Amino acid sequence: MSERTVAPAPPGNEPPIHIRALAYPDLPQVIAVERRVFPTPWSLAMFVLELSKQSGVCLAAFSGERLVGYEICSRYDTVWHIMNIAVDLDYQRRGLATALLAELYRRVEDPQARFTLEVRRSNAVAIHLYEREGFRAAGTRRRYYQDNGEDALVMWRTPGTLVGTLEDVPNARPPQ
């Protein structure tokens, strides 16, 4: 699909933000952002594997030639799993993650689509973002994160969660 401008130029002389499909030549910049943003970054091989899947949606956000964010989403049967979403440190809190999610929903083109993800319990900023997007916590993966053994919240965005219920979420057990 084509490149889309999703935000006006930020303050200063920065170019507007464009979102397009992530491509293999983008991976060096993806790895650099990944290492800056996450305590346990994905390997290059993990990104190559996700990009090779025909059923996924992988997006990149650019300011000019600079990759400033990305999103990796894979489809498993009828569920879309958001595997990785990141925004470079100096572009955070500008609505870029929201724009990446909006572009994902646009490309999926299914109002009945179900999305899931895992997020660190301690990542209040991300949890708040996902809740604004209609995701609801429906379970916990104990000791999910290898770097410190932290639990992950399992969150879902479904037609049900968008109206305030977990009825269409498989095995929903809201975390304590």
CA pair distance 153, 121, nearest whole angstrom: 6
CA pair distance 84, 154, nearest whole angstrom: 14
Dig out the tokens for 162 from the structure: 């968008």
Q: Has 118 been annotated as catalytic?
A: yes
Which one of 34, 71, 91, 130 is the catalytic residue?
130
Give whole-number Cα distances, 164 to 3, 11, 32, 90, 167, in Å. 34, 37, 38, 34, 9
CA pair distance 133, 162, nearest whole angstrom: 8
Which one of 14, 50, 105, 118 is the catalytic residue?
118
Catalytic residues: 118, 130
